[in-house]
Structure formats: structure tokens, C-alpha cells
Structure 1
């Protein structure tokens, strides 16, 4: 719905309601069901397995990316003084000594 509203804002349609109706009709025609209720569309992997790499050439897993993202958010929060060093350590499952060493490496970079 957000994307449809943005398309309306940039002038891709003269009516937001008509844009939603058209989207729902085309989706229903293509996938033979609507988006009412609890239905979630299939992932890219299920729809088109050839679009998703069979294995990552760098050996990364989705969970690796999530952990890096979380650690980055913790670092940003600590540097903005939103959370304390102790709280950052708890979130990253590090002792206070390990957290101090990590903060020193952040400063060196």
C-alpha cells in the first residue's frame, strides 16, 4: 500500500483508489487469489528459484547479515549515547572488558 501511495504521489495515477483497485485486480488475475486476510505472497525463492543464488560465493548466510546489522545498530546507539557501554555489552553478549576492547577498535577505525 505504501508503494502504491508513492506511485500516486509521483503522478502515476490520477486516483489512489483506482490504483489500488487495478493492483488488486491484476494481482488476483496473475496469482489466482487476493491479498485479503492473512495471505502472504510467496518469496522469490519459491516463485523463481533461478533468481536466487544457490549459494553465496562469500559463504555468507542471511543470519550473518542480520547479526552485522544488529551490531551496527548497537554501535550507533552507543556512539550517540543512547545506550551505555554496559547495555551495549549485554546486547552483544560481551563482558564489560570485551566491550571496552571493542570500543577501542571502533575508535581506531
Structure 2
């Protein structure tokens, strides 16, 4: 990159992989209440069902956002490498023209 800054694309990909590793088991997780008899009262069972439904949605949304972040990190690494390659080729072309 310009300005003396660098981006370690391997680190970006490692972070993306780590996110994916954490998210994979969570994406298979199901938040469900125990059977109705476990709560002793229908109102308690209904509250447990609503609680679990809410957390199931939260797990799903957080998993999707984490996967999106993981994909974005990989895409950033690809973009940095692409532009580095393109810019290097352009600079080499300029050098060749100046050396003529």
C-alpha cells in the first residue's frame, strides 16, 4: 500500500477462518425449551418457549453477521492483492517507458 503502510492479507484470511471456525458450531445450535412438564406450569412453559424463540433468532442473526464479516475479510484480502498486482504492473510499465 502507499504511504508506507502494509496489509498482511494472510492475517486477514486467518481472521476470516477463525470467525468461520467459531460460527460453524453455533449455526447448528438449536435453542429449545424442555418439555412442558419440566416447568410445572403452562405460563412458565410459554415464557420458556418465547425466551428460546428469541434466542434462536439472535443466534441465527449473529451467525449470519459473523459469516458476512468473515466473507468481507476474505474479499478485502483479495482486493488488496489484486490492486497491489495491478499497481505493480503499472509501475513496471512506467519504468520501462522511462528507461527507453
The TM-score normalised by the length of structure 2 is: 0.23
* Greater per-residue helix proportion: 2
Task: Report 1 or 2 for greater relative contact order, CA contacts < 8 Å, sequence distance ≥ 6.
Answer: 2
The TM-score normalised by the length of structure 1 is: 0.21
Larger radius of gyration: 2
